[in-house]
Amino acid sequence: MQIKVQPMGMYQTNCYIVTVDGKDFIIDPGVNATAWVKANVTNPVAVLNTHAHFDHVWSNQEVKEYFNIPLYTPKDDIPMLTDNSWVPDLPPSYPDVAVEGEVTTIEIAGVPVTFRHFPGHCPGCSTIEIGDAMFSGDFIFDRSIGRTDFPYSSPRDMAESLKRFMQIDYDRVVYPGHGGTTSIKAEQKNAPYWLQSLE
């Protein structure tokens, strides 16, 4: 498996291209991501969203249409893909697959992709696991967690999500939506601090 990353836009939102067996998965194509994606894929098969905040989904529709590939978005965040009340010029996007369930594994082009639903930062906030990597969006960062003071955020949901995250019994490298990598085990050690701050 090969992973490429490029921070996009003023919020330096990580766009990832994950290549497995010659198949490219594009995760969170943010602001002006299309040119970089075009230059770095050979066989794109899907666009995957960890959640639907504008800085993660800006180029969804453009990438989807250019390559004629499906878009997978957590179900509870789909309304935000067409809600420009925050950012009036947000390009709307329309998913082909609404991902739902606490833990859902979908086979895409023969590759298992697992979405784990961790609401709090936003209603549909999820991690995406491919192989030995977890793409955490804005749920978990290196020594931090996603903000819970946005519209649609919920500190209570984030606390419950952290409790479930602490129960994961394996390790993965974690590739967040912003900043550098960490790991499940490293952030499980930090989770009690964030739980206390939420309560």
Mean pLDDT of 122-126: 98
Could you tell me which residues come within 8 angstroms of residue 132 by beta carbon, excluding any fewer than 6 positions away? 1, 172, 173
Could you tell me which residues come within 8 angstroms of residue 40 by beta carbon, excluding any fewer than 6 positions away? 4, 6, 17
pLDDT digits (tens, 9 = 90+) for 132-175: 999 999 999 999 999 999 989 999 999 999 999 999 999 999 99
Q: Are 127 and 15 in contact (CB under 8 A)?
A: no
Among candidates 109, 115, 145, which has minimal Cα distance to 129? 115
pTM (two decimals): 0.97
pLDDT at 23: 98
pLDDT at 113: 98
pLDDT at 84: 81
pLDDT over threshold 90, residue 86: no
Domain ranges for the chain, please list them.
Answer: 2-198
pLDDT digits (tens, 9 = 90+) for 22-55: 999 999 999 999 999 999 999 999 999 999 999 9
Which superfamily does 2-198 belong to? Ribonuclease Z/Hydroxyacylglutathione hydrolase-like (3.60.15.10)
User: Of how many residues is the chain composed?
Assistant: 199
13-20: strand order across its sheet: 2-8, 13-20, 23-27, 44-48, 71-74, 97-99
